[in-house]
Amino acid sequence: MGDTAAVAELLAEKRKLKKSLFRFDMIFFTVCAIVALDTIGQSSSYGAQAIFWLVVSGLTFLIPYGLITAELGAAFPTEGATYDWVRLAYGHFAGAVVSVLYWLSNPIWLGGTLTATAIAAMDALWGSSFTGNQGAETVIGFLFIWVAVTMNILSLRYMKWVPNLGAIIRLALLAFFAILVVVAGLKGGFQGGLGGFLPSDTTVIIGVIGVIVFQWIGFELQTNASEEMEIILSSDQLSNVSGFVAAYQFASSSVFGSAAPFFNHLAAVAFVFVLLSSGTTWLMGSDRLMAIGALAGSGPRQLGYFSARFGTPIVVNVLSGIIATIFMFITFFVTGGGLHGYFAAVLGLVISTTTFSYILIFPALI
């Protein structure tokens, strides 16, 4: 009787979902989830070997993972699909563990590395002095977090343009940066090299591989909104905190000279929006997974409530914002407002939490 009531409640909440996502949206949703700028500096700090492991992991991990996820997502197109995959493969308890860890890592990430990187970018490109000022850091972090949460609460029909624009802007930023590097190199000569490209130090792979894999994950994220897609393909149709910013500044100064501050201000706005869109996109997927898992018994059923007006998991959305805010306050207090310590501590926690959830997700894919 209890199971029957749970199924009825699950179906009742799913009836609130609104078809909002088209094929165009799903492409940019995935780009926004996978192409991350906040950890580029961390991975590049390991030198040329990071490029080697980036290529190796792309061939041996990214491509197979993407193909398998596409196949499974087409075969099981359900809301909160990642939870269902693990539950069907290993049982309800395993699904519950995955839904909690997968979801929890995202508010920590939003209130942690994304917030720290956004503040560092504003300081570097606008010339502000927010870093070390705990009051200013807290206000900016609070606004950053709750803008992302508000975007998740509002209807996906309109808020889907956050990941869409985020994907377009990040690709434009990367293309612009690549052009600047080439022009700066032609003007002043290319520096650096590929010395040490081949693996020679085991400590490098231990440090860099976790960051690189963390950058690659996200193909399955869009499947957590499967029942909000207008078109579902069937299976037969298938660092440093501001590393990127510092590299951009160097190239920009070399190319634009005295005009660099103007372009830096524009780049800062674009960069902060890209970070905001990353957090918003991951919350869109993970909050839905947690809500469906809660309705299936993985947590308090109240977490599975979907807004009849917006069709979004509003309770989990708000809880994500609260967790991100609490974590931001605690971490700023512990690190004394130092962004480097803040970034390093949170990134390690996010990677480890995410890894634990994927330990069950990846075998379920196979």
Tens-place pLDDT, residues 190-209: 666 666 667 777 777 777 77
Residue 328 covered by a domain: yes
Residue 146 to residue 165: CA distance in whole angstroms: 19
Average pLDDT of 227-231? 78
For the ranges 157-161, 180-184, 315-319, the lowest mean pLDDT is seen at 180-184
Q: Tell me which residue range forms the domain holding 253.
A: 2-8+23-216+242-365
| Sign of the CA dihedral with 283 first, then 302, 319, and 39 last | negative
Residue 325 to residue 92: CA distance in whole angstroms: 30
* Burial call 286-295: b when 16+ CB within 10 Å, e when fewer: bbbbbbbbbb
Residue 314 covered by a domain: yes
Residue 232 covered by a domain: no
Residue 233 covered by a domain: no
Residue 283 covered by a domain: yes
pTM score of the predicted model: 0.82
For the cut 50, the answer to whether the pLDDT of residue 1 exceeds it is: no
Average pLDDT of 28-46? 78
Confidence of residue 322 (pLDDT cuts 50, 70, 90): very high
Residue 17 covered by a domain: no
For the cut 80, the answer to whether the pLDDT of residue 262 exceeds it is: no
Residue from 118, 104, 105, 173 nearest 147 by CA: 118
According to DSSP, residue 112 is labeled I
Contact by Cβ (8 Å): 329, 138? yes
Residue 50 to residue 216: CA distance in whole angstroms: 14
Residue 158 covered by a domain: yes
pLDDT for 106: 92
Confidence of residue 238 (pLDDT cuts 50, 70, 90): very low
pLDDT tens per residue across span 110-154: 988 888 888 888 888 787 777 777 888 889 999 999 999 999 999
Alpha helices in 154-259, H assignment, sequence order? 156-159, 161-188, 202-216, 243-256
Structural domains of the chain, count? 1
Comparison of pLDDT for 8 and 308, the residue scoring more: 308
For the cut 50, the answer to whether the pLDDT of residue 234 exceeds it is: no
Residue 218 to residue 169: CA distance in whole angstroms: 18
DSSP 3-41: HHHHHHHHHHHHTT----B-HHHHHHHHHHHH--STTHH
Is 135 in a helix, a strand, or coil?
helix
Residue 292 covered by a domain: yes
Highest-scoring range by mean pLDDT, 34-43, 121-130, 273-282: 273-282
For the cut 60, the answer to whether the pLDDT of residue 14 exceeds it is: yes
